[in-house]
């Protein structure tokens, strides 16, 4: 523990308190301050080793869920390891977890439970985790129902609604097809690549609102999303996850500006 406040306030107490009693009082106050700071740092810096195992196991399961693991899906996993700055040992463990996840008998439930425990009540940590999994789900283009089923199971465990998952998918260039979802109910399907225009994804889907939403509802949705996706809230997460949050925040801001221009407020 860094005891800088303890030492400084002990010295101040020694001078102002005219001796040992003042130094003791100052040291006690300083120790309390140092303890609180240490506790805050611990809460702000999640244990990353608790993330990598279940995450890469789930990526392996997603890749294998349609029957085969493609080169594109392996490349996504390798890219994740590099972007997250894994050490040699962490990388070996991540590879082992990925290989375990792609076994035919692998049960995704413990891995999803592990991610749920790691995220805890931090919704701002849930979105980067989902974003990583979505990249594997979309590695080969239009995702099959098996992959979407695992993704939606994870989203549910992390308390992310279908509407919010739709928004994340829209930022990746995909949209929800209601008719497809009805036809394949229970299969996890329903996402299809839209005819994406040069302006980016549908801004109303990104904000999770309908086109007839009023100004108050639009602003409320924007403020809620930008607060949950702002990278400054993430704490000590891998740089890759911070960059994902920055990209999502940019998409949210762009969507909001497009709606403002369209609605004229």
Tens digits of per-residue pLDDT, 75-93? 989 988 888 888 889 899 9
pLDDT of residue 100: 94
Task: Count CA atoms closer than 13 A to 43's CA, side-chain side.
Answer: 10
Are 123 and 235 within one domain? Answer: yes
Beta strand pairing status for 175-176 and 191-192?
Answer: antiparallel
- Which helix (H) or strand (E) segment holds residue 56: the answer is helix 49-64
DSSP calls for 190-241: -EE----BTTBS-HHHHHT--TT--HHHHHHHHHHHHHHH-GGGS-S--HHH
Task: Count CA atoms closer than 13 A to 211's CA, side-chain side.
Answer: 2
Q: Which residue has the higher pLDDT, 239 or 265?
A: 265
Are 11 and 142 within one domain? Answer: no
Are 81 and 164 within one domain? Answer: yes
Are 191 and 234 within one domain? Answer: yes
Are 199 and 176 within one domain? Answer: yes
Q: What three-state secondary structure class fits 72?
A: helix
Rounded distance, CA 144 to CA 187, Å? 9
Alpha-carbon torsion, ordered 164, 170, 171, 172, to 10 deg: 120
Does residue 226 have a pLDDT over 80?
no
User: Which pTM does this prediction carry?
Assistant: 0.62
By mean pLDDT, which of 20-29, 85-94, 243-252 is the weakest? 20-29
DSSP H stretches of helix in 65-177: 71-83, 88-101, 108-119, 123-137, 145-157, 162-171
Domain that holds residue 27: 4-44
Are 40 and 76 within one domain? Answer: no
Are 28 and 65 within one domain? Answer: no
Quick: pLDDT tens for 165-197: 887 887 776 765 544 443 333 344 444 444 444
Are 250 and 129 within one domain? Answer: yes
Write out the two tokens for 37: 């700071």
pLDDT of residue 202: 78
Are 68 and 10 within one domain? Answer: no
Are 15 and 72 within one domain? Answer: no
Band the pLDDT of 22: cuts 50, 70, 90.
low
Are 35 and 55 within one domain? Answer: no
pLDDT of residue 57: 95
* Nearest residue to 209 (alpha-carbon basis) of 157, 247, 254, 255: 255
Rounded distance, CA 264 to CA 244, Å? 30
Number of domains in the chain: 2
Are 81 and 200 within one domain? Answer: yes
Does residue 56 have a pLDDT over 90?
yes
Does residue 248 have a pLDDT over 80?
no
Phi, psi for 176 (deg, rounded to 5):
-90, 130
């Amino acid at each position: 523990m860094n005891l800088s406040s303890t030492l400084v306030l002990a010295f101040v107490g020694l001078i102002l308190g005219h001796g040992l009693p003042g130094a003791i009082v100052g040291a006690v106050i300083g120790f309390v301050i140092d303890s609180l700071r240490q506790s805050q740092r611990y809460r702000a810096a999640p244990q990353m080793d608790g993330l990598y195992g279940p995450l890469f196991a789930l990526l392996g399961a997603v890749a294998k869920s349609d029957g085969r693991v493609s080169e594109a899906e392996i490349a996504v996993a390798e890219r994740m390891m590099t972007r997250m700055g894994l050490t040699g040992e962490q990388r070996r463990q991540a590879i082992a977890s990925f290989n375990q996840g792609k076994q035919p008998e692998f049960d995704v439930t413990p891995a999803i439970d592990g991610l749920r425990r790691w995220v805890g009540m931090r919704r701002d940590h849930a979105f980067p985790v989902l974003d990583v999994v979505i990249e594997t789900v979309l590695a080969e283009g239009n995702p099959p129902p098996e992959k979407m089923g695992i993704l939606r199971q994870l989203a549910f465990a992390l308390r992310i609604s279908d509407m919010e998952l739709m928004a994340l998918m829209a930022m990746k260039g995909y949209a929800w097809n209601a008719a497809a979802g009805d036809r394949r109910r229970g299969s996890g399907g329903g996402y299809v690549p839209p005819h994406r225009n040069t302006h980016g994804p549908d801004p109303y889907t990104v904000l999770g609102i309908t086109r007839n939403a009023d100004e108050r509802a639009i602003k409320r949705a924007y403020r809620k999303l930008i607060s949950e996706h702002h990278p400054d809230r993430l704490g000590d997460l891998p740089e890759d996850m911070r960059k994902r949050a920055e990209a999502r925040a940019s998409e949210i801001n762009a969507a909001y500006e497009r709606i403002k221009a369209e609605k004229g407020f």
